[in-house]
Amino acid sequence: MTVLTALDRCDRCPAAAAYRASLLVDSPPYDVPTPTLDLCGHHWRKNGPAMTEQGWVVIAGNPEVFATELEGTPS
């Protein structure tokens, strides 16, 4: 899986992207690029369930953001 870095930002806010999601289509129009969205943890939690239902899948993530999101958990 691709690893996102701090340079990858959320497409909806200035936060670092935690997830990159791509829309999988059964019969893609091959001349059209597959849509992808980079989302921070907040926006993924907000939109992820609906997006998953529409066929979006997570194709990349940022382990550093995951670590930050777990802040408050004893390490």
Q: Where on the chain is the footprint of Zn ion (CB under 5 A)? A: 10, 12-13, 15, 40, 43
Is 25 or 45 the residue whose CB approaches Zn ion more closely? 45
Shortest spacing between CB 65 and Zn ion, in angstroms: 11
Report the C-alpha gap between 38 and 15 in whole angstroms: 10
CA-wise closest residue to 65 among 33, 11, 19, 1: 19
Is 22 or 47 the residue whose CB approaches Zn ion more closely? 47
Our CA angle for 20, 61, 74, nearest 5°, is 140
Shortest spacing between CB 11 and Zn ion, in angstroms: 8
